[in-house]
Structure 1
Amino acid sequence: MRGGKRTKKRLWRWRSNPLRRRDDVLEAWLVLAVWALIAVGGTLAGAVTARAADDVFAQQRAERTHVRAVLLVDTPHAAPNSYRVVAKVRWTAPDGFVHTGKTLVGAGKKAGTDIEVWTDAQDELTTAPPSRDEATLETGLLGAAAALTASGLAFGVGGLARWRLDRRRVDQWGREWDLVGPQWGHKTG
């Protein structure tokens, strides 16, 4: 059938057709539901995740403060694959209490060097909160990942359901052929 044109009927599962089966209509509704879930569910999952991540990052920026600390020991020079080492530091909290703890500091520093550290609401050492730009980027990536995950899950479940419908159709065709096939002529053998 070279050069022939293949006609393609749009929305054929929705149209009245003597060959259309109940599973064809079910598949049409399934495809519609999957695409709706991908569009709405994926968007909603991405927006909710991005909003939650943005709130967490804003809370971190509000709770964490940087304070001056003094390095208590000399730090060794860096190994070839690192430029920061763990060292003991001392700092004074805003309430006047003196604290000590271990944190990452630049390699090759001498004891008594002033450094900046970050503390949380309990005056414990913590990491620096993400800047607004870093938080925006991470929020966008987390939202996109959530949207893709929700969409992929909907697509996968829909694909599995369509596969099961196809298996059911093939089984039905086999049963019907077993009934009709012998009426179509002579048997060879």
Structure 2
Amino acid sequence: MPAKTPRTSKSPVRLWRWRRNALRRHSDVVEAWIVLGIWLLVAVGGAVAGLVAARTVDSDFATRRARAHPVAAVVTDVTPAAPPATASGRDDGRARVTVRWTDADGSVHRATARLLPGAPVGTRLTVWTDDADRVVPQPLGRTEAALQADLTGILVGPLAAGAIWAGGRLLRAALVRRRLTEWDEEWKRVGPEWRNLSGGRG
């Protein structure tokens, strides 16, 4: 029965920068800590950035909801939508109308709004106004705002993590260049002696 050939292990030495050895340099230890810090920042920083972005957007929508108030108004004048001035002009087809409403204290207000065609004079509708009695777009509801905030956080999180990772890659590349320069300088100093010891005999 033929003897089994012993297997040679070719697996790389893992975590060699964290272990004491003759080839490890100070720059290797620094690089190891930087790599660890980068991955921690990618994981934690990306998550934190996503949460902050989501909360900021949700807070902005909540502020808009708090400042907007629905009022019952009536259309008093309709101006048809003008065609685009150029071929590349954008027009949503909405008409410019004048609306009138009365506050709880009896004050009458008028403002301009844009509505889809089909709202003749006398049409009753609900418009949204701010604290200065200016017509503003209808704010998003809580569910829609929460969805928008979540989507923003989902987009911002990976972008922030990617930016951190890219910055870490640049920093690590700078360390690699520095380490190669140190090796080159040391070889210039040790190389001649090594060649003399290994066979540079005339």
Q: What is the TM-score of this pair, normalised by structure 2?
A: 0.77
CA distance in 2, matches of 1:167, 1:153: 21
Matched-pair contact (CA < 8 Å) for 1:50–1:140: yes
Match 1:139 to one of 143, 149, 173: 149
Task: Show the counterpart of 2:5.
Answer: none
Displacement of 1:164 = 0.9
Higher alpha-carbon deviation: 177-186 or 125-134 = 177-186
Task: Show the counterpart of 1:156.
Answer: 166
Structure 1 segments unaligned to the other structure (5+ residues):
none
Distance 1:92 1:178, change over 3 A: same
Matched-pair contact (CA < 8 Å) for 1:78–1:84: no
Higher alpha-carbon deviation: 59-68 or 161-170 = 59-68
Which aligned pairs between 1:13-24 and structure 2 lie closer than 5 A? 13-24=17-28
Matched-pair identity in %: 43
Higher alpha-carbon deviation: 30-39 or 104-113 = 104-113
Task: Show the counterpart of 1:60.
Answer: 64
**Pair 1:36 & 2:36 matched:** no
Q: What is the TM-score of this pair, normalised by structure 1?
A: 0.82
Output the amino acid matched with 1:90: R
Task: Show the counterpart of 2:53.
Answer: 49
Q: CA RMSD in A?
A: 2.5
- Structure with higher Rg: it is 2
CA distance in 1, matches of 2:51, 2:154: 9
Task: Show the counterpart of 2:95.
Answer: 85
Displacement of 1:177 = 2.5
Distance 1:6 1:111, change over 3 A: farther
Structure 2 segments unaligned to the other structure (5+ residues):
1-7, 84-89
